[in-house]
Structure 1
Amino acid sequence: MRKIPATVVTGFLGAGKTTLIRNLLQNAEGRRIALVINEFGDLGVDGDILKGCGVETCREEDVVELTNGCICCTVADDFIPTMEKLLEHADRLDHIVIETSGLALPQPLVAAFNWPEVKARVTVDGVVTVIDAAAVAAGRFADDEAKVQAQREADESLDHDNPLEELFEDQIRAADLLVLSKADLVSDEELARVREEVTLVAGRKLALVTASQGKLPADVLLGLASGTEDHIHERRSHHEIEHEGGVAHDHDDFESIVVETRPLASPDRFVDGLKGLIAAHDILRLKGFAAVEGKAARLLVQAVGGRVEAYYDRPFAPGEARATRLVVIGLHDAIEENEGAIRAAIAALASTEAQAAAE
């Protein structure tokens, strides 16, 4: 029986995974592709974006959304049943693409392809790790070594593990193909430094390509024939190395909340205000959909770091609620301590008072 190839697309929050997959679907050259979309938080933004890809090979019934967690932690409860469901219609599929949460470890997910229920029917064509070149160039995943050393000298008992850096490295180590996204946002010199840093982290020779706006030919991403499930034990994560499999992986370092508020009075004012909010509370990722007063289309809002973009992606469907709903993701302590302030700030930015201030 022919095994169905599956591609795991991983990468940190906001790296450009969904944009890459959307472009892949629109240029699939007739391939019938099923999607498994996993998000950290209970607002399914990415799945909603991909369902509207507008091509025949992207059927809504072939899109499975798993929200409010990472499938790397819920393999038995979520991933295996999802794969079994997809395989009921295996004759209609040419490929499966799995977009992990930006906080997921690829290693346990890929290892799950060795489960007997899955291994007989599916093989991992490749793990594609998407890397935000602009974020790496800005030092988003690296510690300020001088600051850390000063903290160590002041208190040797402090824990200086950097969860962002470790996760970034783990996602690279699991890869068969590295995609440096948003290459158009950095200079040639910065891109060269990012290449060097990523290659050093990988610790082995890997295929590496650059992309702008997620545009890569389907043949670059699919058809790697890596059989990664047979090799993933050689690409251990920080967690596996430190705990030797004795402690369950979790995401206690990170937290997400969903904020719902009224339709926006001024989308420009709202977007500008989000930039300040993100900087003030060190928000890692913000995304969702907004209703705008007087507009029949919904506004897609995406933010990573200090970059915020918003555009109308489609008209509201008949009966669809016209509200503003955003998922906000950050380090656990920052979100927990500032949740009230974050909610209040977003509500204020959406208000008519914000419109008056803008004018």
Structure 2
Amino acid sequence: MSSIRPWRDIDRRKSRQIMIGNTPVGGDAPITVQTMTNTLTSDPVATIDQIRRCEEAGADIIRVSCPDVESTAALKRIVKAARVPLVADIHFHYKRALEAADAGAACLRINPGNIGSSQRVAEVVRAAKANGCAIRIGVNAGSLEKDLLEKYGEPCPEALVESALDHIKLLQDHDFHEYKVAVKASDVFLAVAAYQGLADAVDCPLHLGITEAGGLIGGTVKSAIGIGNMLWAGIGDTIRVSLSAEPEEEVRVGFEILKSLGLRTRGVRVVSCPSCARQGFDVIRTVSALEERLSHIKTPLSLSVLGCVVNGPGEARETDIGITGGGNGKHMVYLSGVTDHHVQSADMLDHIVELVEAKAAQLEAEADAAAALAEPAQ
């Protein structure tokens, strides 16, 4: 049987690459995962603490709100503490953009058409160039310009794309090209259609998102459908899952979307059954506990947790570590797809965690050794 599976191929849209700090976005760079803090940026201690949790979850880029001078004053300290590039979210006040650029923001989230005169746009562009900042244009169906609403009658894909192109032109008129663009809506169909239209019209990186998606469960479903649809079509260079939940949850969901499409690998990929009366152990609570206890693992590996032998052996053959439920509290453990040993119910959870941690350490050591061999001799 051929190992080539063309039905799994995703042909990514060709975009030019920009830099957000030291993180590339677009081109052939990995699709990055973003989130946004919800603390007061003027409180650097709380903001840095939240940023740290997001970094631990794997965030590549983090956005912070800068609505006032107190926020941009605190930003310099926050930037120094952050391990990933920060995007300063500026809506209308161009002076906040100038202050954020000087404070070390790697990117400014600002719509140039909303900050006033061409002179103000020029000032922001000069500050961005001087400080090595990129700019994210963020068009939103809920805040479209009045003239576009009058022209089209309602938010529609054409209106979102036209708004994005108008903002892009303002930057290009000032010879600025380090930008990425989002055309978000809470309606999945509207957002996807807008991104499809924009993808055909520009060559810049696209920032994907379904805005105001909802809570952890509903918002995850909407985002997975919308963002997943676009990624599957090859559209998108960076993503933010917008949830009414803690920002680190947005990061975890973002990575799960990318992992499900084979676009990024990070941490443990769990294959588990929904459970039924055949289960030899409590699958639901076991998986929940494992996800929590293994959340610190960054090395990509796979774990199957199946309650019985109907599908368990087949799934276990495809994962690094697997367990299938058996009778009398005795369950089969698979290593690299091969039956290896049994474990009792009382010891199962700790045992799986130990196996996963050991496998992750082994893979990390092998990767380090391979990297050392690849380094040219000094």
TM over 0.5: no
Which structure has the highest strand share of the two?
A: 1
- Give the TM-score taking structure 1 as reference length: 0.29
Choose between structure 1 and 2: higher helix proportion: 2
**Bigger radius of gyration, 1 or 2?**
2
